[in-house]
Structure 1
């Protein structure tokens, strides 16, 4: 049996392509156009996994054969056993990532669906900070920053969805060799106020990983 290899953001992307194909199947009458949509979806899904095995490519490629209404949900359900969960962490491990926050309140980690998580994110109302935990290059890392609710909806820099956001600001540890010890660089990004919803939409981790690298200097 193929080992789990589909991360949450991959699955979100595959689901989007499946929904797009289902809509096209119901509305497009031109057979050639529909065929192009089918194989376009297959190519985009398989391209997510540059090192996919032949069995993994075969599993993912089933998307191009979906036709009946029930096929689309069955396809997504068939992928469930191959979802790679977020690395489970303990409260002690999380607190160790933020040593300066002695009274850090960590969310209940036992109720989290780790298969539906790309990053762990929560707001500490007492300090008005957003905390993010993410496995970068095989190592669990944590970042924190001020969390200021935006007056109107905007685009989230992580999931690119439009909705309720807040301005996340943090000080970057990245600096060039010749800068003054007093130099600091503030980084600001609009991020979803609801990390759960953000995790449901995120389809690419490049922006998230870049943010973590900029803040931690990793």
Structure 2
């Protein structure tokens, strides 16, 4: 029985390495250069799963041996049974995460393929708010913030890709012990307008987790 262990951002990283290797194989004739890219691709794959057990190593295989376009595609398809889904959420769960929002508009949860989700993100245009839900340290957490469109492309702080972005600004829930009653602190960054595209691009969750922790827990 296949035991899922590959998270969405890790699968994206694998696809990135496979794409780079396939592109090199198709466009570079220097054998030494190709072999170097093969070695680096496999080394980076090993870095993504440093604690992989024997079953997982067998499932991941050796991408440095791939040659043809068909082999590259077959390899990626072979990993799909091992994709670990983002835990399914319900509308009630989302409402509990944002209790102060009386008429919370949630996305169509039945239309989501949770295999390809690192975080849930959606926008309520009526209130200019962006909502973000993530599993942090095994717990489902949610943050909300002001959504300010830029109407242009920029680098998203989560996926580090050049996409259409908006400024996402969230008020921190953490307060220092010496804070006055009217203490206010907000942190913001540029985030993909399209969370689905962001989830397809993200290869590392460290920056996302740091941002969420900054909002919920503080520096």
TM-score by length of 2: 0.95
1:63 matched to which residue of 2? 63
Equivalent residues of 1:2, 1:55 under 8 A apart? no
Q: How many angstroms apart in 1 are the aligned matches of 2:108 and 2:26? A: 42
Give the total of aligned pairs. 218
Give the 3-state SS of the residue equivalent to 2:84 in structure 1.
coil
Give the 3-state SS of the residue equivalent to 1:189 in structure 2.
strand
State the Cα deviation string for residues 36-58 of structure 1 (Å, max 9, x = none). Answer: 11121111012111221022123
Of 49-58 and 139-148, deviating more is 49-58
2:97 matched to which residue of 1? 97
Q: Which runs of 4+ in 1 moved over 4 A?
A: none
1:191 matched to which residue of 2? 191
1:81 matched to which residue of 2? 81
Q: How many angstroms apart in 2 are the aligned matches of 1:50 and 1:185? A: 38
Measured after TM superposition, the shift of residue 2 of structure 1 is: 4.2
1:209 matched to which residue of 2? 209
Q: How many angstroms apart in 2 are the aligned matches of 1:208 and 1:202? A: 10
TM-score by length of 1: 0.96
Q: How many angstroms apart in 1 are the aligned matches of 2:179 and 2:42? A: 48
1:155 matched to which residue of 2? 155
2:14 matched to which residue of 1? 14
1:34 matched to which residue of 2? 34
Q: How many angstroms apart in 1 are the aligned matches of 2:31 and 2:175? A: 55
2:180 matched to which residue of 1? 180
Measured after TM superposition, the shift of residue 163 of structure 1 is: 1.8
Over 3 Å counting, the alpha-carbon distance change for 1:137 and 1:116 in structure 2 is same
Equivalent residues of 1:131, 1:142 under 8 A apart? yes
Note the 1:114-133 alignment, pairs <5 A: 114-133=114-133
Which ranges in structure 2 are unaligned for 5 or more consecutive residues?
none
1:139 matched to which residue of 2? 139
